[in-house]
Amino acid sequence: MADTLSVVDNRTGKKYELPIQDGTIRAMDLRQIKTGPDDFGMMTYDPAFLNTASCRSAITYIDGDKGILLYRGYPIEELAEHSDYLETAYLILFGELPTASQLQAWTHEITIHTMLHENVKKFMDGFQYDAHPMGIFLSTVGVLSTFYPDAKQIFDKGSRLHQTRRLIAKVPSIAAYAFRHSIGRPYIYPDNELSFTANFLNMLFKMTELKYQPNPVLARALDVLFILHADHEQNCSTSAMRNIGSSHVDPYSALVGAAAALYGPLHGGANEAVLRMLKEIGSVDRVPEFIKRVKSGEGGVRLMGFGHRVYKSYDPRAKVIKRIADLVFTVTGRNPLLQIALELERIALQDEYFISRKLYPNVDFYSGLIYQAMGFPVEMFPVLFAIPRTAGWIAQWEEMLLDQEQKIARPRQIYTGPKVREYVPRDKRS
């Protein structure tokens, strides 16, 4: 069986043999299909890239039908069980799990880069008192490019590694400062004796005590949530990171764009929408009525936290999160909205509407409940997503830079505007 696709152009009667590799044809192979010498050649039209692979990647694998998510070949469930965020970030960035000494060195390098320049702090002070923490976060990440002009050396491996360490280490500090600023509390310097997530909790929640002692269950829960969010192949924000990075701008500037994409309610904001939905439902006995509304399509109401473009079975991250929720609630007390969420899930999983459309809980269905129980306001949810996704963004950015096939990203269009027309002087326009 030949690995080719035969295409007959019925406009000309010509036949073409297009090679198939990895289940794909190359869009550029279509360019030879022309009706005549003046024809530009055939293109594909794929709004929102529903069926276009834009890169080769060895980082994350998703099988949406089977509910499988692998980082560099390792199942997400095993990483969530045995690993921690910094080790997972190392795996995502460098391709292999670190040895004990590599992990120690990596953890040390990250820990010693957690401090922010005092002028970054002053920059953050300039934000309005009630500024959204995600707005503060992404602007401040952009500012880092002015502090580290060496980041422009994107083809210098040493420089890339340096910026990688800085970014992984500093995003929690920026996130914590953004949170403290938005609630009018003084910034807390990092405590390098604490683990990555324990220190993050310290920078978020420390008050007047001399030494902050984070609850180990909550620090571990956050660590697992960070593992689950570290990468998710070519989603909207990662595609933004690759696109912007393809212009060869420094990684801080590219990361601002990725974080901005994550800020949008269709990407990083769905868990907030879940909380709003649960509040609106209000009590378990109103769940059937709500499900009825969703099914009728009335007012475009959707069951938030359900369904996924890629997963057509239970999102494997949602399964882990559900277990973590139980752990967190033993410390914080049960989030009163949990009962409503469980009932929604129970009914939806038995209902023909959701079964036939393959709609299952996604990562956002339970994560908001956990964050809320841990004391985070909803405005912090996208920031909490951006911290671990930084590892994925940088890994994908570097993979793009080193890929010989990649160039500056520049999609084509189908022009639908007017043909050429003559300029009309202002006094002659009607």
| One-letter identity of residue 334 | R
- For ligand CMC, the closer of residues 167 and 236 by Cβ is 236
Q: What residues form DSSP beta bridges with 16? A: 7
Reference 154, options 33, 245, 59; nearest CA is: 245
In the bound state with ligand CMC, the residue whose beta carbon lies nearer, of 224 and 303, is 303
**Residue 113 annotated to the active site:** no
Nearest in space to 323 (alpha carbons), one of 209, 224, 252 = 224
Q: Which is nearer to ligand CMC, 198 or 303 (CB)?
A: 303
Closest to ligand CMC by CB, 121 vs 267, is: 267
Question: Has 229 been annotated as catalytic?
Answer: no
Q: Are 9 and 33 in contact (CB under 8 A)?
A: yes
- List contacts with ligand CMC (CB under 6 A): 232, 235, 267, 270, 294, 302-309, 357, 359, 362-364
> What 3-state class would DSSP assign to 206?
coil
Distance CA(228)–CA(222), nearest Å, equals: 10
**Active-site residue, 223 included:** no
| Residue-level length of the chain | 430
Per-residue DSSP letters for 117-162?
PHHHHHHHHTS-TT--HHHHHHHHHHHHHHH-GGGG-TT-HHHHHH
- CB 192 → ligand CMC: shortest distance, Å? 32
Question: Looking at 223, 231, 315, 364, which residue is catalytic?
Answer: 364
State the DSSP code for 18: E
Catalytic residue among 267, 315, 326, 427: 267
Residue among 109 and 351 whose Cβ is closer to ligand CMC: 351
The residue (of 289 and 427) whose beta carbon lies closer to ligand CMC is 289
Smallest separation, CB 235 to ligand CMC (Å): 6
Q: Min. distance of Cβ 46 from ligand CMC in angstroms?
A: 14
Q: Which residues contact 333 (CB under 8 A, 6 or more apart)?
A: 373
Least Å from the CB of residue 387 to ligand CMC: 15
**Other CB atoms within 10 A of residue 307 CB:** 18
- Shortest CA distance to 92 belongs to which of 112, 69, 111? 69
Q: Which of 181, 229, 232, 308 is catalytic?
A: 308
Q: From the CB of 193, what's the least distance to ligand CMC, in Å?
A: 34
Least Å from the CB of residue 17 to ligand CMC: 33
Contact 10, 20 (CB under 8 A): no
Please give the positions annotated as active site: 267, 308, 364
